[in-house]
Amino acid sequence: MSLDFKPGAFNGFFRDETFRDDFTYRNSPEGIRRFPFPFDRDDYMYSVNMEPHTSGRKGSVFEHTFDVDEHYVSEMIDRAKVLAEDPLRCQSLPHMTLAGWDLLELIMESKARDYPQWFSLTKDGNRWHWINRPLGIDQTFTFLDESTLPYGPFEYITRQTQGDFSLQDERDNDLWMDAGMITSQADWSLDFDIGMSFMEWHAPVPLAHEKGIFDRALKFLLKLQHGAPVRRFNWTMTVNPLLDTAPETYPKWGPTRTTLSQDNMGNKMHLRVELQALFRLPRSNAVAFSIRCYLGKFEELVTVPKWGRRLHRVVRDLHPDLAAYKGFLRNRDAMAQWLSAYDDGKPTSPGWWPED
């Protein structure tokens, strides 16, 4: 299953598009309306901002446990290409195999329940039959027997699921990132960070440690219960719809930050939103993070008047340390200038929904 998808699946719903080279990725008008715009007010600063990951508004990215959208098939092809170029983007320390099975079960059960038209899971004891129609996969295997799958359970299921995933082992009152499938990351290296504690892998984040954000977040996550997942947003900015902004390949994509002008800003600059969901896993007691990346072009987002006004104000007023950490300090003024045309100074309503 490396690049041998049989996606006869670009039939109407799933878009045939690229996240590299010619960058044909875009959102449909329906996709823009359901974009998870992450700002619920006109300014931004870190907060723990976690809420229960329960089923949200119908049609929104919160409706299902693992959102499957129009970019699904193309994202999975992009992931396969990243892994073919650099297998170190998926790693799992030896003691994390059981957590991988836990995650496989969670994803298969969720997708089969939420999207029966695309996924099906039938069980005969430990003999499981999984069908993934969009990717053309039909797999019979024995649950908890690695030899019956073409990859380890963690890699197998995350090659079929949008978003990056990391698995945290809980020891010594801490969470240790001991496995990851990381191909659509906002510039951090799994290969470097694997095995780190919660505070260690968050160490480079500015301002938040001093505000006690990570102390509170870790305490909160250690209490996470099976069956009661939580979610939060994170965000950054990315030039071109490039999912794989990895530090490993920074010399390749870094120069694109110098290619922006007022003429191409709307098409090239993307708000990159991470919908992070956290799940306690039942057998391993590990914590799964899903880090789902949504990319929205500036020119797409400003078609929603409220978002155009608000995005301008957030970008213009963001603390410079955060703009630097998120990698867009050098372009911030130009971004704010382009967005200012969509801010008429009118007040915005609270919350992130497009028309509330």
The site for another protein (CB under 8 A) is made up of 88, 189, 191-196, 199-204, 209, 247-251, 254-255, 257-258, 330
Residue with tokens 């003429």: 263
Question: Which residues are within 8 A (CB) of 333 and not within 5 positions of it... i.e. 6 or more apart?
Answer: none
When the beta carbons of 199 and 341 are compared against another protein, the nearer one is 199
User: CB-wise, 203 or 341, nearer to another protein?
Assistant: 203
Q: Nearest approach, Cβ of 260 to another protein (angstroms)?
A: 12
Q: Which of 20, 33, 232, 332 is catalytic?
A: 232
In the block, tokens 């430990």 appear at: 126
Quick one: which H or E segment has residue 321? helix 320-325
- Cβ atoms < 10 Å from Cβ of 202: 17
| Least Å from the CB of residue 58 to another protein | 42
- From the CB of residue 286, how many other CB atoms can be counted at a distance below 10 Å? 25
Q: Which is nearer to another protein, 210 or 356 (CB)?
A: 210
Q: Which is nearer to another protein, 9 or 82 (CB)?
A: 82
Provide, rounded to whole angstroms, the least separation between the CB of residue 185 and another protein.
12
Considering beta carbons, is residue 199 or 228 the nearer one to another protein?
Answer: 199
Q: Would you say 14 and 73 are in contact if contact means Cβ atoms under 8 Å apart?
A: yes
Distance of CA 173 to the CA centre of its chain: 26
Long-range contacts of 51-58 (CB under 8 A, 24+ apart): 51/230, 51/231, 51/232, 52/228, 52/229, 52/230, 52/231, 53/229, 53/230, 53/231, 53/277, 53/278, 53/279, 57/353
Instruction: Examine the residue annotation and report whether 26 is marked as an active-site residue of this protein.
Output: no
Q: How far is the CB of 247 from another protein (least distance, A)?
A: 5
Least spacing, CB of residue 47 vs another protein, in Å? 19
Residues carrying an active site annotation? 232
